[in-house]
Amino acid sequence: MSVEFEEIAKMRENPSEDYTTPVEFSDEEGYGKYLDLHECYEKYINLKGIEKVDYITYLSLFDHLFDIPRERKNSEYRNYIRALLTYLKDFVSRVKPLQDQAQEMAAAHQEFLKVWEPGMFPGWPKETGGALTNVGAHLDLSAFSSWEELASLGLDRLKSALMALGLKCGGTLEERAQRLFSTKGQTALDKSLVAKKGANKAKATTQQRHKDIAAIEAQVYRFANIVSSTRAATIENVTRRAARAAGERRDESDEESDTSVTGDVDSDDDEVPYNPKNLPLGWDGKPIPYWLYKLHGLNISYSCEICGNFTYKGPKAFQRHFAEWRHAHGMRCLGIPNTAHFANVTQIEDALALWEKIKNQKEGERFVAENDEEYEDSQGNVVNRKTYEDLKRQGLL
């Protein structure tokens, strides 16, 4: 007892990796509040012959597996419900870690077997003319003295009697009657008459496969039941989100079509019908939303004297225009190179003043031979011409 206690205490002090890793949930799952069945949904709508439904509908019918006709339940379907079951089990293990899954599954399987055998499992009605058992009705041949008498019973009765013996049951009335009559008084059946076991075997595997699929379905029902409250919350959540998204779209279009407010109307602009705020057109040829118009500051105009008092709408267009043709042309007319120094200068006076200043600065930096020519004295020192001459005059060289 004390050893166990010490072990637990040790484990608590030095938790190993397994104990420190938090349970992970996807964004959609909201820490276990909701289901995230998008992956299963993808698989579902890609099943052949399945009605294409939206995600919300899918959430409410993913466990209506009995509505899917049994002919559609192929291996692809099996993969789908396996994936679905895997997700549900995984989800339950994350939100209800104390739940005994093995026990849950065993109980589900027991229940399934109980209803499967009598053919009561939803979606899987018992096939008529079962493959494994010889369902035909036995016929007492001692009452018949010839095959012609048997033939008088008719095709169906003969077929049933043949099946009861596990014999081939096809052929004409005569063939069937003769085949059945030939067994009279025999203890061992003629091999050539016995129905092929291969066909039965194939049927048996098919049945086994159906049973496997149905068993998985039973587990899905069980786990769907366990998560039923989470599922209801999920449907609510997804619906709410969809409604919100739709609402936002509607608000946006309302704003676009709202014509009661008048903004600053620039008479210079081209006339656009149904656009009282004179909003610029977007890529789709419609006026851009008003909030976008405000966001980009398109209601603010900037004019530029260098461009001949042309006005630009929005700071972006204004900033860009300094490198564009109209401004470049204006600068060329002033005889000023359109360099980065002149960015943001819009007044002709300012531009000319700046140009003068820059020119003077450049002048100072220019190479003047009288001053800057280099001279070297007898000791190898390099000095400029002015210094050299000063030194020479003082007789220091």
Tell me which residues touch Zn ion (CB under 5 A): 304, 306-307, 327
The three-state secondary structure class of 268 is: coil
Distance of CA 390 to the CA centre of its chain: 84
* C-beta of 59 vs 304, nearer to Zn ion: 304
DSSP state of 279: P
Residues 6+ apart with CB under 8 A from 64: none
Give the Å distances, CA to CA, from 380 to 161, 162, 376, 389: 130, 128, 6, 16
Polymer length of the chain: 397
Q: Smallest distance from the beta carbon of 301 to Zn ion, in angstroms?
A: 13
State which H helix or E strand residue 233 sits in. helix 228-257
Q: Smallest distance from the beta carbon of 321 to Zn ion, in angstroms?
A: 6
71 CB-side CA count, 13 A = 1
Q: Smallest distance from the beta carbon of 331 to Zn ion, in angstroms?
A: 8
* C-beta of 214 vs 306, nearer to Zn ion: 306
* C-beta of 84 vs 306, nearer to Zn ion: 306
The CA-based dihedral angle spanning residues 349, 354, 356, 361, taken in that order and rounded to the nearest 10 degrees: 170
Gap between the Cα atoms of 258 and 1, Å rounded: 77
* C-beta of 311 vs 384, nearer to Zn ion: 311
> Cα-flanking dihedrals φ and ψ of residue 55, to 5°?
-65, -40
* C-beta of 73 vs 327, nearer to Zn ion: 327
Q: Smallest distance from the beta carbon of 339 to Zn ion, in angstroms?
A: 14
Q: Smallest distance from the beta carbon of 307 to Zn ion, in angstroms?
A: 3
Q: Smallest distance from the beta carbon of 322 to Zn ion, in angstroms?
A: 7
* C-beta of 145 vs 311, nearer to Zn ion: 311
